[in-house]
Amino acid sequence: MSFVATLVSTPTAPAVDQDLVRRVSEALGDKTLATILSPGVAADLSFENPGETAVDVTARIRNVVGPAPVDVFVQPEEDRRKRLLIADMDSTMIRQECIDELAAELGLKEKISGITERAMRGEIEFEPALRERVALLAGLPVSAIDTVLSNRIVLMPGGRTLVQTMKANNAYCALVSGGFTHFTKSVSAMIGFDENQANTLLEQDGKLTGKVAEPILGRDAKRERLEELVAEKAIEFNETLAVGDGANDLAMIERAGAGVAYRAKPAVAEAADFRVDHGDLTALLYLQGYSEKDFVLS
């Protein structure tokens, strides 16, 4: 069976040079064919699998790569291009955790971010942790949400290019978040997602009540939306790609054809099919075999 190993570094610090490509090619065998996807940033190395698992080949390549800031993806050549992207928002499509930034408006960021971190690591259950954090926001003016959106929220590099390129190639893109609709609506529009789902913060008289609408969109709901979309679009699971960073993303990451852990918590990185520790979100395009010239930039 034909396999491909993809080497990816961040575009701001290119590390996939000719020497690295040569050394990895030699490690994979004489018949390895190298294709440069982006000079210095990404390369595909096609090879015939000698019977090793993708995990074993990945480990062997990482031994060659050493400490270089390069991500390694190994997979069959067939069915790389995906027709569905389902993505987390906080710390995945944006750099921040929205609830932590709302807490900063009340001087509670340190307290709430500690709970967020434990929930994302899977140390505590997501739903009660969300209720606990939202309760601490009671009384915050709803107008503070626009302030946070304008002044604190930053898109993750490569996210818009990822979504726009996949959509230009007939993929459907869904943003599913354990965060809040106040944020997903804006972030989804900025990036270009086809749909967005999240939790709803309840408000009264222009202030947050400290409660969130039930049922809470968490780990199982993300997986369920993936399954619904597969049925709605009449596609196969091997045509889907899921990306996230926290424990509440695990179910959709494990269910998708290609589950990607993006700058993720250890438990998520261990469970995912692929992990991105160095590249930006365009790494998910290189993973699918897109080259830089295929990117839709806007």
Angle between helices 126-135 and 109-120 in degrees, nearest 10? 170
How far apart CA 249 and CA 126 sit, in angstroms, is 11
Assigned token pair, 230: 């597969």
Which position among 44, 71, 90, 245 bears the catalytic label?
90
Backbone angles phi, psi at 16, to 5 degrees: -95, 75
Catalytic residue status for 88:
yes
How far apart CA 223 and CA 228 sit, in angstroms, is 9
Angle between helices 54-65 and 18-28 in degrees, nearest 10? 140
Residues 239, 245, 247, 251, Cα dihedral to 10°:
0
User: DSSP E strands: which ranges in the chain?
Assistant: 2-8, 33-38, 42-48, 71-76, 84-87, 172-180, 195-199, 201-204, 207-212, 240-244, 258-262, 274-276
Which position among 88, 245, 249, 280 bears the catalytic label?
88
Q: 5: closest CA among 48, 63, 69?
A: 48
Q: Are strands 201-204 and 207-212 parallel, antiparallel or unpaired?
A: antiparallel
Give catalytic residue positions: 88, 90
